[in-house]
């Protein structure tokens, strides 16, 4: 058996633990492992790599010690979807080609029997297309946003929450000294898991998440009440995808062939809070800091379990499934059922209830 590993889309702390575990699990079974660089680019465009090496053979020694490293040793990309590949035309316009069949033939030519694709919704959807076109595929879900349906948790999320919490702790002390409002913008495109968990853990005073369209009047009232009680500072955590009531997501740009780039909501919220309260409000954008660096023990453990479970799926003869966490165990769900669906924060989950119990404001009237 020859197994390929690929990492696509935004990176997440814990990917290298997946790569290590999948490599060890496969090679211990006597299988060969090939890593594809930069999503599928290494296989599609080998000439773009030194000595034409767009793929790399992995064995126990090549993955030794990589589990604690952030990022992905294979590299990643969120451009050039092979199923919807952008091709620039002579007149400067862009047409899109479906290169799925071509990519599957490249896998077959390389003698690869199966692919373990480690990615978010985009990469898992590509995996599903490759599977339909005749490649054996196992998916491993990956996103710091923790918003993939069909798995209760994804690796990278714990690290993101840990770093966000630590950063909010630091902003607390300086906010207190200066009696300032701090608006902390964190990642979270469609779901507010990072904002909610880090905000509650750090004791933020308001949390704005995509699931609850917000108004700033209740937040301003909370800040004014605190001021009247002698606490002149406040921390507001806002997910990058949070939406003001009646408005839309704050978009920084729409790069060609990529998802729209979010950002700017923190600054907008700070400006309006200053207007409503008269207090100085500053913004800190944590952004990619939440995606980088050393994964927590939890994410290394989860990554190892995902990688090992992906290899067991191949051993069991499965195809077209995604590894998922369900009630602390690993299970396999059809890729087709896992893609294109978000896992939002349930507004009646215990963390939300606890947050309301301790008085955190969500920019609504509850």
Task: Give the separation between CA 254 and CA 247, rounded to whole angstroms.
Answer: 18
Structure tokens at 65: 């010690």
142 near ligand F6P, rule: CB under 6 A: no
- Pick from 3, 5, 6, 10 the residue near ligand F6P by CB under 6 A: 10
Q: Which stretch binds ligand F6P (CB under 6 A): 125-133, 173-181, 183-191, 318-326?
A: 183-191
Give residues with Cβ within 8 angstroms of 272, minimum separation 6.
216
Q: Which of residues 35-94 bind ligand F6P (CB under 6 A)?
A: 78
**Following DSSP, what letter does each residue of 133-163 receive, concatenated?**
TT-EEEEEEB-TT--BTT-S--BTHHHHHHH
CA terminus-to-terminus distance, the chain: 57
Catalytic hit among 121, 145, 147, 158: 145
Strand 234-239 relative to strand 181-186, pairing: parallel
Between 158 and 223, name the residue whose CB sits nearer to ligand F6P. 158
- Nearest distance from C-beta of residue 312 to ligand F6P, angstroms: 27
- Nearest distance from C-beta of residue 159 to ligand F6P, angstroms: 12
120 near ligand F6P, rule: CB under 6 A: yes
189 near ligand F6P, rule: CB under 6 A: yes
Q: Bridge-partner residues for 119, per DSSP?
A: 141
Strand 32-36 relative to strand 55-58, pairing: antiparallel
- Nearest distance from C-beta of residue 13 to ligand F6P, angstroms: 11
Give residues with Cβ within 8 angstroms of 284, minimum separation 6.
167, 171, 182, 183, 184, 185, 266
Does 147 participate in catalysis according to the annotation?
no
Q: Which of residues 285-304 bind ligand F6P (CB under 6 A)?
A: 291
211 near ligand F6P, rule: CB under 6 A: no
Q: Are 117 and 8 in contact (CB under 8 A)?
A: yes
- Pick from 74, 124, 144, 325 the residue near ligand F6P by CB under 6 A: 144
SS3 360: coil
122 near ligand F6P, rule: CB under 6 A: no
- Pick from 131, 148, 238, 262 the residue near ligand F6P by CB under 6 A: 262
Q: Which stretch binds ligand F6P (CB under 6 A): 18-26, 143-151, 277-285, 321-329?
A: 143-151
Between 38 and 145, name the residue whose CB sits nearer to ligand F6P. 145
Task: Give the separation between CA 319 and CA 311, rounded to whole angstroms.
Answer: 11
341 near ligand F6P, rule: CB under 6 A: no
Between 143 and 277, name the residue whose CB sits nearer to ligand F6P. 143
Q: Are 205 and 301 in contact (CB under 8 A)?
A: no
Q: How many other CB atoms sit within 10 Å of the CB of residue 45? A: 14
- Nearest distance from C-beta of residue 58 to ligand F6P, angstroms: 25
Q: Are 136 and 313 in contact (CB under 8 A)?
A: no
Size of the site for ligand F6P (CB under 6 A): 13
Binding residues vs ligand F6P (CB under 6 A): 10, 78, 120, 143-145, 187-189, 240, 261-262, 291
Q: Looking at the annotation, which residues are catalytic?
A: 145
């Amino acid at each position: 058996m020859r197994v390929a590993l690929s990492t696509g889309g935004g990176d997440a702390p814990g990917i290298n633990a997946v790569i290590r575990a999948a490599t060890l699990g496969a090679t211990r079974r006597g299988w060969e492992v090939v890593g594809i660089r930069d999503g599928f680019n290494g296989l599609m465009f080998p000439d773009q790599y030194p000595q034409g090496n767009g793929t790399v053979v992995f064995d126990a020694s090549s993955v030794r010690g990589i589990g604690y490293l952030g990022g992905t040793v294979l590299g990643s990309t969120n451009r050039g979807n092979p199923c919807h590949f952008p091709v620039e035309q002579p007149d400067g316009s862009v047409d899109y080609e479906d290169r799925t069949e071509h990519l599957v033939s490249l896998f077959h030519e390389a003698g690869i029997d199966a692919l373990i694709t480690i990615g978010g919704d985009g990469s898992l959807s590509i995996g599903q297309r490759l599977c339909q076109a005749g490649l054996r595929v196992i998916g491993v879900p990956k996103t710091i946003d923790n918003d993939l349906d069909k798995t209760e948790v994804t690796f990278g999320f714990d690290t993101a929450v840990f770093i966000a919490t630590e950063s909010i702790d630091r902003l607390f002390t300086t906010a207190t000294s200066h009696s300032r409002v701090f608006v902390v913008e964190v990642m979270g495109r469609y779901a507010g898991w990072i904002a909610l968990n880090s905000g509650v853990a750090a004791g933020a005073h308001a949390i704005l998440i995509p699931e609850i369209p917000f108004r700033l009047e209740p937040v301003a009232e909370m800040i004014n009440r605190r001021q009247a009680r002698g606490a002149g500072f406040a921390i507001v955590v806002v997910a990058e995808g949070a939406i003001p009531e009646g408005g839309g997501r704050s978009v920084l740009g729409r790069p060609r062939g990529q998802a729209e780039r979010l950002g700017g909501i923190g600054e907008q919220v700070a400006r309006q809070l200053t207007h409503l309260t008269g207090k100085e409000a500053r913004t800190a954008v944590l952004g990619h800091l939440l995606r980088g660096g050393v994964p927590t023990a939890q994410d290394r453990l989860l990554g190892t379990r995902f990688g090992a479970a992906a290899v067991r799926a191949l051993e069991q003869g499965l195809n077209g499934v995604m590894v998922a966490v369900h009630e602390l165990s690993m299970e396999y769900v059809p890729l087709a059922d896992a893609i294109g669906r978000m896992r939002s924060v349930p507004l009646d989950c215990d963390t939300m209830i606890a947050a309301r119990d301790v008085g955190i404001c969500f920019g609504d009237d509850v």
